[in-house]
Structure 1
């Protein structure tokens, strides 16, 4: 130690060597005490830790016991809940099974009913299909008829003749009657008041129209439209030249189109043709417009017949007025008789009222008769009841 200190310290140091040695000794004692204190502290901490561990272990054991009790209670609760759940599930399954059974039964009945109705509807559909097949055959036959020009003209002529015959009386029209120029129009309607007859033509260029309707491409449709326009213009010209005869026919000719759809599409796609027909005094009419025209002509004919029979109507009206005058006179006489009878009845009622009042007076006199039996000495003598009754009767007779 001394050697070490001698090496460390300089030789001329003022501190004694013993003091230094003492310092080192105190330092060693302090280090040893600190080591002993630290060891005791560690032992205390280990003891405290072991005590804490034992307390925690005891707490864990207690918690484990409580956990076992809770688990057992939970197990019992779960077991009871499971049994209740099983019972509820069984009840619900039974209810669902019952409802499913009733629902399936109802659905089975409904299915059978729907199948029955479906069979009935299928039977109706079969009948309708048979009707459609029959109608298709008829349409095919009609197409075959319309494919021929002569039969197609006969079809349009037939429709026109039916409309005219249904709307006008016999003798007001004629079919295929000749004109002065040798032509035979389809129908001639005689107008009233000596006016020229009205001519109806029932021919229509259906070939070009069919080509226009059945065209698959725009070029074919355009070509079909141009062909139909040319045919229609030629037909309008022929009708106006043949049937417009000054002084013999009306200044307007009806061109009958046997279909409403053709009439509508003609006005929609070929307005120029319609305008040209109007300028040529040819009116294109559909079945409905022809029927309307026939009804107007029928009203005009009816008005003419009424004017022709006007003098007869006036005579009948005069006779009717005479009968009405006689009826008025007889009614007034009957009224006078009623008034006289009413007066007689009023007089009878007046007499009855007078008799009733006098009868009541007589009754009152009879009731007062005993009081008047003893006459007073001061008053003059009164008449008896019989004399008063006789006087009342005389008064009634005199008033009557």
Structure 2
């Protein structure tokens, strides 16, 4: 009943107020009718009876209206109380729901906050990883730029290839098995000489790969540039192979085969893929092109050969030691035989000693069993009798 039906100006009109207003309006209308009837009775005396009856009817109706208004007011009050209790129940239920929703909203906010913090933490960790990766990429970029600057200069590029070759050889061979920048009888100085076993000539290694024309092939953007770079590379490579053959393959002083070291596996693979004719030309010139992995494998083979040669050099020493060992074993066998003879003689001596001790024990027992009498005293009286004669006289 307290619900708003409409607004009158700035005032909200409820259902209870509207019902009360309607009853008052009805009461005012009845009063106006009664006043009008009385006025008509004054004007017309002839209709006094009809007016009186009408007035009585109106008064009856008015009393009924007043009674109905009282009943309506009671019902309206009861309904107001019912609606008030229901409104309080509804407000309590609404408050409970609002509290539950607030609690759920708070929990959801806390959970969302935790998830947000966890996501931010993971994001910071990933950003830190990305920063480290970016720093690593920056460092690698600097190293690549530095490597490009090194490879752009012929002298620094040669030093780079020389350094890689030296590291591989130093890791695989002892310091007496190689020599860097050694001078040959012709005055040339190969990048490395690997000393072979049994007085064999050393193996020469060259680390100056002609990379200028190869870089022209990689940088070429047109087919014509690629052909020009390939032609320049073929000329440079053929000249370098001839220089190695003429300078480092000296009969009786070096091996009849030399190594050309390529400091990059990718260049080595591309060389075999695109310039097979140059590879064959190098083989015919007894120049073997090796990458870092092939050089390492070749050094391991040389190391095994050196180890085998050292074992062969020490074979006569091993034979001499084995002969001495056999002589020592023979002497040990003779001495064991002599010791066995001594043990046998000692056993016989021990057996004889046991026989003597057994005889002594038996004689002692017989002496213990003797009955001493006059004969024994006579024997004792004659000092000239020997111990053996005394023993025979006193024996039973």
TM-score interval w.r.t. the shorter chain? 0.5 to 0.7
Structure-to-structure mapping, 1:196-211, within 5 angstroms: 196-211=201-216
Residue by residue, what CA displacement relative to the aligned partner does 1:296-344 show, whole Å, maximum 9, x if unpaired?
Answer: 11111111111111133334455667889979x99xx9xxxxxxxxxxx
Which one of the candidate residues 130, 139, 143 is aligned to 2:144?
Answer: 139
How many residue pairs align between the two structures?
A: 243
> Which of 229-238 and 250-259 deviates more?
229-238
Residue 286 (structure 1) aligned with residue 291 (structure 2):
yes
Note if 1:263 corresponds to 2:271. Answer: no
Residues 304 and 111 from structure 1, CA distance in 2 versus in 1: closer, same or farther, beyond 3 angstroms?
same
Listed as ranges, the matches of 1:47-58 within 5 Å are none
Aligned to 1:253: 258
Q: Provide the rounded CA distance (Å) in 2 between the counterparts of 1:309 and 1:196.
A: 21
**Cα separation, 2, equivalents of 1:214 and 1:320:** 71
Residues 1:99 and 1:176: Cα distance change in structure 2 (over 3 Å): same
Aligned Cα root-mean-square deviation (Å) = 3.3
The structure-2 alpha-carbon separation of the partners of 1:130 and 1:247, relative to structure 1 and needing over 3 Å to count, comes to same
- Residue 181 of structure 2 corresponds to 176
User: Structure 1 residue 122: deviation in Å?
Assistant: 1.2
Which of 291, 296, 303 is residue 298 of structure 1 equivalent to? 303
1:254 is paired with a residue whose SS is strand
Shift of 1:165: 1.6
5 Å matches for 1:80-229?
Answer: 105-229=110-234
Tell me the distance in 2 between the aligned counterparts of 1:248 and 1:115: 72
Q: How far apart, CA to CA, are the structure 2 residues paired with 1:222 and 1:113? A: 59
Q: Using the alignment, how far apart are the partners of 1:115 and 1:319 within structure 2?
A: 81
2:247 aligned to 226, 242, 246, which one?
242
C-alpha distance 149-97 of structure 1, shift in aligned 2 (>3 A)? same
Looking at structure 2, the residues matched to 95 and 299 of structure 1 have their Cα atoms a distance apart, in angstroms, of 84
Change (3 A) 1:322 1:119: farther
Shift of 1:186: 0.8
Q: CA deviation at 1:266?
A: 0.6
Match of 1:277 among 277, 282, 289: 282
Partner of 2:156, secondary structure, is helix
* Alpha-carbon separation, structure 2, partners of 1:96 and 1:319: 102
Q: Distance in 2 between matches of 1:286 and 1:132?
A: 27
TM-score by length of 2: 0.55
> In 1, Cα distance between the equivalents of 2:183 and 2:162?
16
| Distance across 2 between alignment mates of 1:107 and 1:215 | 58
How big is each residue's C-alpha offset from its partner over 1:118-150, in whole Å with a ceiling of 9 and x where there is no partner? Answer: 211211221222222222222222222221111
- In structure 1, the residue corresponding to 2:135 is in which secondary structure? helix
**1:81-128 CA distances to partner (integer Å, 9 max, x unpaired)?**
xxxxxxxxxxx9999998887666545433322321221121122122
In structure 2, relative to structure 1, the CA distance for the partners of 1:276 and 1:97 (3 Å cut) is farther
2:238 match = 233
C-alpha distance after superposition, 1:147-195 (max 9, x if no partner)? 1111111111111111112211112111111222221111111111111
1:321 and 1:188 map into 2 onto residues whose CA distance is: 43
